[in-house]
Copies of this chain bind each other. A is one copy, B any other.
Amino acid sequence: MATRDAVFLAAAEAFSAHGFDGVSVDAIAARAHVNKAMIYYHFDDKLALYREVVRDMLRAIGARVQGIAETPEPADRKVSAFVAGLVDLTGERPWFPTIMIREIAEGAPRLDVETLGLIRHVFVTFGGLLAEGQAAGLFRPVNPVLAYMSTLGPLMFNAARERAAAQSGRGHLPMFAEVPRADLVRHMQEATLRMLSKERE
């Protein structure tokens, strides 16, 4: 099982950094220190391997979001937990944001119905938090799609930025300066609640 896990991890990191088409099976094998034929022993083909990576991360997100929604907290705290949860998950599975955003940008051509259902589930749950907050008089009315973009977009883009910063020769550029994770969470929680808040209209 160690081999399979090594392949999975190497694939996740490689797909995240270079995209599905930017990664060769040879490259994954090399990165995992595994013979290429072993990849085909453990997985049907390159696409099946990719799909497992995507499904794994979306299941993790779905579970976490579900847990937050079921909490008895007020909606604004749930939204804050949602933001923190996403950042947390990016720590666990650093490949998630870049794979996700690429997949969306390409029209999710490689995702099956189950995986699309997971994406839908996260969005719908988030929309539920908005409705809850509006019903409680905490949030203003806002297009849920745009609110979702405002919440996820900066997190996705920042994860991409961190990748660039890690590349040699980029670190000195001001936009690639390091930002502590705690600062990111606090900023995104504040920005999201300011965006949704009913006060100050």
Contact = CB atoms under 8 A, between A and B. Distances in A.
Contacts of A166: 107
A3 B124 CA distance: 46
Contacts of A191: 150, 191, 194-195
Interface of A: 16-22, 98, 101-102, 104-109, 116, 119-120, 123-124, 127, 142-146, 148-150, 152-161, 163-164, 166-167, 170, 173-175, 177, 179, 183-184, 187-188, 190-191, 194-195, 197, 199-200
Given A174-B120, A174-B123, A107 B157 contact: no
A156 to B, nearest CB: 6
What 4 A-B pairs come out closest when comparing CB atoms? A107-B167, A153-B153, A153-B154, A153-B157
A15 to B, nearest CB: 11
